[in-house]
Amino acid sequence: MTTISSDEAYRQAGVDLKSAEAVVDIARHAAGQTSKPWLLGGIGGFSGAFEIPEGYRQPVLLCACDGVGTKLKLAFEANKHDTVGIDLVAMSVNDILVNGGEPLVFLDYLATQKIQGAQLQQILNGIAEGCQQANCALIGGETAEMPGFYAKDEYDLAGFCVGVAEKANLYPRKDQTKAGDVLIGLASSGLHSNGYSLVRKILFSDHQLDLSAHVPELGGTLADVLLTPTRIYVQSVLSILKQLPDAVHAMVHVTGGGFYDNIPRVLTPELSAEIDASSWQSPAIFPYLQTLGNLSNEAMWHTFNCGIGYILAVDAGQAQAVLDAFDRHTDEKAAIIGRLVPAQGQSKVIIQ
């Protein structure tokens, strides 16, 4: 009886070991773009090691994990994979930022039916770009080839981030958050990575639109607009927290669940948030979806960020200083979008 090698056995099962080995080189190159002084060792070990940067008296480690969701379906259909890696990083690092954390390291998990070098290169380049935007290091990850489990040319992504904050500087500061605090919103880049199951239903199931079609109202193709990566707020917000350490009382990352689900997560029972919806202009994709989907205002606020990706609750006396600091030192579009008020019954978020 003729025996077969492990390479051949795996090949017959649908797994290419040589392609799997090549992944390490691609990952090592991507990670090399994000190297930081607190790393110990590099890509290729059984785990990634890092030190907590100096200067913390009582360091607290913060952890977050997330994925990209069904936005990936659009990347598959458009054969465009260079932005979803940024989304992957953004969803975790922005969450860590809410607690005042500085992202330190990031790991990714990619599972696919068959590893494709060009596709993988785009994904990892996007992850490296997201890590650079967040000033954290890509410390490792896992790529799994799983024939028979995923559809041809498709994959799934998960991301994991560890950050650090000084224990005394953790947010939200619920003992300081109070009625009268001003809400400053930072503009989103578009849909970010939330609500895409509904987006796909409206655009492609209900209206059978072409992903590659140019839409005048949006100023580009649907693919370009829908695959715009999530904005990463880390460096700009951390700079504000360092410049004005007593100004900010709480922060919100507006992700899945929109305004109605995310803002209450940082409020005490005694507080509600009043939002002035006329205080900023939403990107065109939001009214476009609302019209095509015949969606109520409540559905929009409960599903999407509607143009505001991050919110800071700020002491009223320092609100202008915070706005000025964003204007002088960052490229964020910041605006006052509301304020905190005494609790309004069961309504934690009132949008006017």
Same domain for 108 and 202, yes or no, is: no
Q: Are 245 and 234 in contact (CB under 8 A)?
A: no
φ and ψ at residue 318, rounded to 5 degrees:
-115, 5
Largest CA distance in the chain: 84
Give the CATH number for residue 242: 3.90.650.10
The predicted structure's pLDDT at residue 2: 52
Question: What domain range includes position 237?
Answer: 182-351
Last residue of a domain, one of 169, 200, 215: 169
Which residues neighbour 154 within 8 Å (Cβ) at sequence distance 6 or greater? 72, 76, 112, 113
Task: Identify the domain boundary among 145, 169, 193.
Answer: 169
- The predicted pLDDT at position 310 comes to 98
Query: Rounded distance, CA 275 to CA 277, Å?
Result: 6
Q: Are 258 and 307 in contact (CB under 8 A)?
A: no
CB 349, CB 275: distance < 8 Å: yes
In a domain, 265, yes or no: yes
DSSP state of 243: H
Beginning with the edge strand found earlier in the chain, give each strand of the sheet holding 271-275 in spatial order. 248-253, 308-314, 182-187, 334-342, 271-275, 349-351
Query: Is the domain of 340 the same as that of 207?
Result: yes
Residue 218 lies in a domain: yes
Task: Provide the pLDDT for residue 10.
Answer: 45
Do 37 and 139 have their domain in common? yes
Shared domain check, 317 and 202: yes
Distance of alpha carbon 15 from the chain centroid: 31
Whether residues 132 and 191 fall in one domain: no
264 and 314 inside one domain: yes
Q: Is 61 part of a structural domain of the chain?
A: yes
- Answer yes or no: is 177 within a domain: no
Over residues 157-206, the pLDDT tens digits come to 999 999 999 999 999 999 999 999 999 999 999 999 999 999 999 999 99
My answer on whether 216 and 164 are in the same domain is: no
Residue recorded with tokens 């605090």: 181
Cα distance between residue 293 and residue 162, in whole Å: 38
Whole-Å CA distances, 3 to 9, 12, 18, 104, 205 = 9, 13, 20, 48, 50
DSSP letter for 21, please. H
Q: Say whether both 149 and 196 belong to one domain.
A: no
So what's the pLDDT on residue 44?
73
Regarding whether 333 and 200 lie in a shared domain, the answer is yes
Assigned domain for 123 exists: yes
Q: Within the chain, which residues score under 50 in pLDDT?
A: 4-5, 9-10, 17
Whether the Cβ atoms of residue 157 and residue 204 lie closer than 8 Å to each other: no
Q: Are 201 and 110 in the same domain? A: no
Bridge partners of 305, per DSSP, are none
Buried b (16+ CB within 10 A) or exposed e, 49-85: ebeeeeeeeeebebebebbbbebbebbbebebbbbbb
CATH number for the domain that contains residue 69: 3.30.1330.10
> Cα(263)–Cα(302) distance, rounded to whole angstroms?
11
Whether 175 is in a domain gets the answer: no
Out of 120, 140, 169, pick the residue that ends a domain.
169
What is the count of structural domains for the chain? 2
Residue 9, pLDDT score: 45
- In a domain, residue 174? The reply is no
The verdict on 295 and 325 lying in the same domain is: yes
Residue with tokens 């607290």: 60
User: Which residue in the block uniquely carries the two structure tokens 């492609």?
Assistant: 204
> Whole-prediction pTM value?
0.92
| Contacts of residue 86, Cβ cutoff 8 Å, sequence gap at least 6 | 126, 127, 129, 130, 133, 229, 230, 232
Query: What is d(CA 14, CA 22) in angstroms, rounded to the nearest whole number?
Result: 16
87 falls within a domain: yes
Per DSSP, the three-state class of 96 is helix
Quick one: 129 and 197 in the same domain?
Answer: no
Question: How confident is the model at residue 213, as a pLDDT?
Answer: 92
